[in-house]
Chains A and B, each alone.
Chain A
Amino acid sequence: MKNSNYTATQLSVTCPACGLLCDDVTLNTAPISTLQNGCVKGVTFFEQSLKTTPAAVPCITGQSTDLDSAISAAADILRGSKQPLFAGLGTEVQGMRAMLRLAEKTNATLDHLHSEATVRNTLTMQNSGWLTTTLSEVKNRADVILAIGTDITSSHPRFFEKLVWNSDNLFNKSSPEVIYLGVPAENTKAGIAPNGSQPTVIPAEIAQLPEIINALNALLNNKKINTEHIAGLSVSTLLTILEKLKAAQYAVVVWSASCLKFPHAELTVQSITQLINKLNETSRAAGLPLNSGDGDTSVNNTSTWLSGYPTRNRHFNGKPEYDTYHYSTQKQLSNCDVLLWVSTFNPHPAPDTETPTIVIGHPGMQFDRIPDVFIPVGIPGIDHGGQMFRVDSSITLPLKKVRDSDLPSLNDVITKIEAELLNVHLA
């Protein structure tokens, strides 16, 4: 029997299941896996991860093979490619460093599976900028929280527990007032204070948010509005929101670009950030854009310092190029000659395509269409360590290895593919 270094039954871990990156979580590994301070997403992540086999083996066209053969096969496919697409990119900093190195050598285009949402925020930041805050500021300072189009907890389950209804804060602030705008009432229970205080819930369809937020901006700028109602909401309702925001010691406006599923949602994000900027002329307020997961924030940051550009970009003859429109997975699926799909945190399936496909990812992946090469790799924070960016980008935390594993990391595999590509060049 193999010796294990991981006999401890309790491990303090960092949970990569969402952008909050909770590191106050304890994993009990015996007799059964349980999570202390875990949330629904965290429990699902660790359960899903720990039931995979750390001895999963690679496949070439569905046939089991050894790692070296799979790496040769992947390198052969990439060698013949003029325009590979590296998509999915569900990984952390080390994995993304490797992906960028390989992209530079293969003239690849890079796109993350959640970048549709990321790009909405990036475009706003590039067009006008924003004023934002981070989780500890929310915890200690926020006395009004406006959630626009997101209940927050679906994507970031412990937000209210950790940051809003916490009893300890530095400045003895009062219990925050929570306002939901455009969130179904049944999803707002997390916004009920421990003392029973109800949140303000302002109903609206997601598609009406642009209109409502523009009206809020107009009213905040003392513009006259010649109607009683905007998108079904009375002007006085909107004025009440503004009064609360203006009276706050520190108002926090939360949005999730992934929830704003309509064309040119970046303009609505911009409208939210304009509202925040205007508030800051006299009082304090700040934004908190939520992320979508699968390492989106880590990938975006790593890409930015290494290539100079956030996602979506490509490498062409050693030079990075940036285009959020043309370099989307959707657009490039029809242009690329090879798809390299990476998803290490979750078994997200590769998009269905006729294009030769290499999949490097989660050991529990299932396939409708068998990829040309599949290389199972370690799950970051389970099979190996790593570094990951939190939702607010300001904090990077180390992930921990929690089980014995034979699985190579994404970085190991990509490094070997690079070496393979180089060897043949030398020969």
Chain B
Amino acid sequence: MITLLKNGKIYDPAHSKDGVIEDIYIYQGRIVPKPLGDAKISQTYDLTGKVVMAGAIDMHSHIGGGKINIARMMLPEYQQKQAQETKNLSEPEAHICSPHCSHHATPSTTDTGFRYIEMGYTAAFEPAISPVNARQAHLEMGDTPMIDKGGYAMLGNDDYFLRLLAAQKNKGLDQKAINDYVAWILHATQAIGIKVVNPGGINAFKFNQRRLNLDENNVHYQVSPREILQSLSRAVHELGIAKPLHVHCNNLGAAGNFETTLNTMSASNGLPMHLTHIQFHSYGTEGDKKFSSAAAQIAEALNKNKHITADVGQILFGQTVTASGDSMMQHLNAKHANPKKSVIMDVECDSGCGVLPFKYRDQNYVNALQWAIGLEIFLSVEDPWRIFLTTDHPNGAPFTSYPHLIRLLMDKTFRNEAFAKLNLDAQAMSNLTSLNREYSLYEIAIMTRAGASKLIGLNDCGHLGTGAKADITVYTDLADREAMFAKPDYVFKNGELVVKNGSVVKVVWGATHTAKPAFDLGVEKDLKDYFDKYQTMQMDNFKISDDEISDDGRGSIVVNKN
């Protein structure tokens, strides 16, 4: 059974195809070469004039696990409000809504899968899995239909790692022990990457430290964030994990934090690192309000430091919720919560958690400038292979606002009109209107497909070459890019038509992407002892077996090779 997608305009940056007219053949869920001779084509879609891209990949979106479930539990009003209205109540700035949309910040797992696929996204990655909470994250992702998923396991604030690092600092470096532990965590949590959130800071908060700078020591362990980043980025690199260390810098959201961000770029000594939601880490202290854009400095540094990648974490106006592992900074920011409530947790000698509702307002100076800073970064970073389109869902805005964000990037007039409505003081502090760049469809395809796939190390996603998974999105080439990206004509998942005219026509279940580098299992001897002495669960129960993900007949595991 061969499906033919005929005459589409192909945007496939992995193969340098920028709008070429070509046919695509699908057989058994994969893209195949043009069949020879008289092989029977069972179905043909005429895509003349249509834009064809691989399914989009969200490389950073909080879609599963403790934090986001706390946000749902804490904020029933988001969903209730929406159920009562046919139109979304929140600011029209953020997105377009359908009558039955669940475009709020805390969708259920089912709605998460549906809203993603309806926008042509076929994979999303949960960027902050607490290793101890990984089972819950996979249970939730297992209940998320339509899309592939995967996650990054958080390290660098867990007492096991910090003990190891502190001991090594005294006795000399044994990078192998660190590497084995990092690989073990990746296997045990069924993750594809390693993340560090506020390196050392979440742990320091448990010792009553309230801020931690890059070269400041955690009071108990006497190790600094820089040392943590060095150790972890080296482990990720030496293990051959494709996804560079995913770094949420120290000092999230604080005025003047851009210097921490700039200095962090050098912390890995040239090894690859990914700085996430960099918009939240690009703030200066200039002006009357001591809060300014440092996007220019950050973008310049990103352009120069080729070993660094970043995603933006754009904010868009409206009601949302911030869910972060950064208990230290979320506790500090709890006073800004709107509505005023917050859940902060210390988690299991492993990590932390902070959930605060937030309402970004275009007439608020800081919020308006945050909006501008994100866009300034997008437009000033030259290489679209090293910058990624995210709102840090739900922290900057719900992922359902991506079509709106894409239009802001592709349409200068639209962007400047939106800018003109902002708080006037914020306008005076931004150079956004002097940035004339408009992203092309090719560049959007890099950021949301080819680049994301390459960054995460997915073997057969994000491109349209022979052998690729047939995850394909087809759009009508509309001048209104928001309308275009909000409602694809067709989405194919594993070669099956699952979305037609923006609505799901078939429910399917995606795979869970992992990476499983080789390591010395001898690391379990010390870990077992540690678990028995200090943890409150058995080491064997900490580990998630393949069966737990695939046994229900819906889930499956993909091990990506590097």
Q: Is the CB of B346 within 8 A of A307?
A: no
* CB proximity of A412 to chain B, nearest CB, Å: 13
Chain A contact residues: over half helix, strand or loop, or mixed?
mixed
CA distance A309 to B355 in the complex (A): 17
Q: Is B164 an interface residue (CB 8 A)?
A: no
Q: Is the CB of A170 within 8 A of B345?
A: no
CA distance A398 to B543 in the complex (A): 10
From B70, B343, B346, residue with most partner A Cβ within 10 Å: B346
Please indicate the chain B residues that have their CB under 8 angstroms from the CB of A322 in the complex.
76, 79-80
Given contacts A171-B220, A306-B110, contact A129 B536 (CB under 8 A): no
Q: Quick one: closest A residue to B159, CB to CB?
A: A170
Given contacts A280-B331, A306-B143, A309-B76, contact A319 B536 (CB under 8 A): no
Binding stretch for chain A, among B128-136, B170-178, B236-244, B303-311 = B128-136
Please indicate the chain B residues that have their CB under 8 angstroms from the CB of A387 in the complex.
135, 139, 548
From B208, B340, B536, residue with most partner A Cβ within 10 Å: B536
Given contacts A129-B341, A136-B536, contact A308 B111 (CB under 8 A): yes
Q: Is the CB of B108 within 8 A of A134?
A: no
CA distance A127 to B337 in the complex (A): 12
Q: Is the CB of A395 within 8 A of B132?
A: yes
Q: Quick one: closest A residue to B534, CB to CB?
A: A170
Which listed residue (A127, A308, A393) contacts B72, Cβ 8 A? A308
Q: Is B537 an interface residue (CB 8 A)?
A: yes
Chain A 167-206: CB-based contact to B (< 8 A → 1; otherwise 0): 0111100000000000000000000000000000000000
Chain A 120-153: CB-based contact to B (< 8 A → 1; otherwise 0): 0010011111111111110111000000000000
CA distance A23 to B542 in the complex (A): 11
Which listed residue (B108, B208, B345, B540) contacts A307, Cβ 8 A? B108
Please indicate the chain B residues that have their CB under 8 angstroms from the CB of A304 in the complex.
69, 72-73
- Which parts of A278-324 form the interface with B (CB within 8 Å)? 280, 283-284, 286, 300-302, 304-310, 319-322
Q: Is the CB of B130 within 8 A of A394?
A: yes
Q: Is A267 an interface residue (CB 8 A)?
A: no
Please indicate the chain A residues that have their CB under 8 angstroms from the CB of B140 in the complex.
305
Q: Quick one: closest A residue to B100, CB to CB?
A: A319
* CB proximity of A111 to chain B, nearest CB, Å: 15
Given contacts A136-B348, A387-B139, contact A250 B108 (CB under 8 A): no
Please indicate the chain B residues that have their CB under 8 angstroms from the CB of A169 in the complex.
534
Q: Is A93 an interface residue (CB 8 A)?
A: yes
- Which parts of A87-136 form the interface with B (CB within 8 Å)? 93, 97, 122, 125-136
Please indicate the chain A residues that have their CB under 8 angstroms from the CB of B341 in the complex.
125-129
Please indicate the chain A residues that have their CB under 8 angstroms from the CB of B342 in the complex.
129, 131
Please indicate the chain A residues that have their CB under 8 angstroms from the CB of B548 in the complex.
387, 398
* CB proximity of B400 to chain A, nearest CB, Å: 14
Q: Is B106 an interface residue (CB 8 A)?
A: yes
* CB proximity of A371 to chain B, nearest CB, Å: 30
Q: Is A61 an interface residue (CB 8 A)?
A: no
Q: Is B98 an interface residue (CB 8 A)?
A: no
Which listed residue (A24, A130, A134, A283) contacts B208, Cβ 8 A? A283
Q: Quick one: closest B residue to A276, CB to CB?
A: B344
CA distance A128 to B343 in the complex (A): 8
* Contact surface of B with A, Cβ cutoff 8 Å: 64, 66, 69-70, 72-76, 79-80, 83, 102, 106-111, 130, 132-133, 135-136, 139-140, 143, 159, 163, 205-208, 220, 331, 334, 337, 340-350, 355, 533-538, 540-541, 548
* Seed contacts A125-B341, A127-B341, A393-B66; 5 additional CB < 8 Å A-B pairs: A23-B537, A129-B343, A134-B345, A286-B346, A321-B80
Q: List 10 A-B contacts (CB under 8 A).
A: A122-B73, A125-B70, A126-B76, A127-B341, A133-B347, A305-B64, A305-B109, A310-B73, A395-B537, A398-B541
Which 6 A/B pairs are nearest by Cβ-Cβ distance? A129-B341, A308-B108, A396-B135, A168-B533, A135-B536, A129-B342
* Contact surface of A with B, Cβ cutoff 8 Å: 12, 14, 23-24, 93, 97, 122, 125-137, 139-141, 162-163, 168-171, 249-250, 280, 283-284, 286, 300-302, 304-310, 319-322, 387, 389, 392-398
